[in-house]
Amino acid sequence: MGLQEQLDTFRADFARTAPSGRVVLYEARIEELRASFALGEAVRTGDKAPDFSLPDVGGNPVSLSDLLLRGSVVVTFYRGGWCPYCNIQLRAYQTILPEMGALGARLVAISPQLPDGSLSTAQTNALTFDVLSDVGDAVARRYGLVYALPEDLRDALRSNNKALPVINGDGSWELPLPATYVIGPDGHIALASIEVDYRKRLEPDAILAAVKSLRAV
């Protein structure tokens, strides 16, 4: 089963069990974000990827520039371990790690949650790639991905014990759009996938195809 098929299956299951009005609310807010978000300001294919250095689950700094010295890098921004769509995505990406490694590519996942949350995400999903914490969305902001949740979505998350200021430790209700970048050794972005609809993610096969194309250059 492909990644999007897995995401769609979860979405259908959620729709059957969600509190009254929740699905309608989420759909409406996704469409509002689609209309208002300045996608043109996000880092895109062909751009130079902004460098970063972020802590992994052990508190050790991981920098993009260091990773690029060893080959291509895939950077995926996700909302957090509290998001079931993100967990499905991360597990799917874990399955292609051997193929990525054979192609000389590394994978890192970035979210605004605190390092303890990143550690929990890595352990729960049995992830062996770097899971980094971008507290305050500083790096996601440089990539042009950050937005603030409206009050009704904040209420919905509070009702599910998912208060983002606690999870992320920065007092805000901001998140990055889900986005995945395939970055060549020269630091330029070969593929950018940015999703306003958090229920959609880049397929693992598309990542592998982009990494292979970099090897062929």
pLDDT tens string 1-15: 899 999 999 999 999
pLDDT greater than 70 at residue 24: yes
pTM flag (> 0.85): yes
Rounded CA separation 43/45 (Å): 7
Tell me what pLDDT residue 217 has. 62
Please provide the average confidence, as pLDDT, over all residues in the chain.
97
Q: pLDDT digit string (tens) for 166-217?
A: 999 999 999 999 999 999 999 999 999 999 999 999 999 999 999 999 986 6
Residues 6+ apart with CB under 8 A from 106: 67, 70, 71, 72, 73, 74, 100, 129, 130
Model pLDDT, residue 2:
97
- How many CB atoms sit inside 10 A of residue 19's CB? 10
CB count within 10 Å of CB 13 equals 11
- Residues 208 and 92: beta-carbon distance below 8 Å: no
What is the Cα–Cα distance from 26 to 180, expressed in whole angstroms? 22
Show me where the domains of the chain are located. Answer: 3-216
Contact yes or no for 196/32 (Cβ under 8 A): no
The candidate with the shortest Cα–Cα distance to 172, out of 136, 207, 146, 143, is 136
Per-residue pLDDT band for 144 (boundaries 50, 70, 90) equals very high
Output the pLDDT for position 45. Answer: 98
CB-CB contact of 175 with 163 (8 Å): no
- Say what percent of the chain tops pLDDT 90: 98
Q: Which residues contact 60 (CB under 8 A, 6 or more apart)?
A: none
Residue 215: predicted pLDDT = 84
Instruction: Give the CATH class of 3-216.
Output: alpha beta
Closest by CA position to 183, among listed 63, 48, 52: 48
pLDDT of residue 209: 98
Give residue-wise pLDDT tens across range 66-103: 999 999 999 999 999 999 999 999 999 999 999 999 99
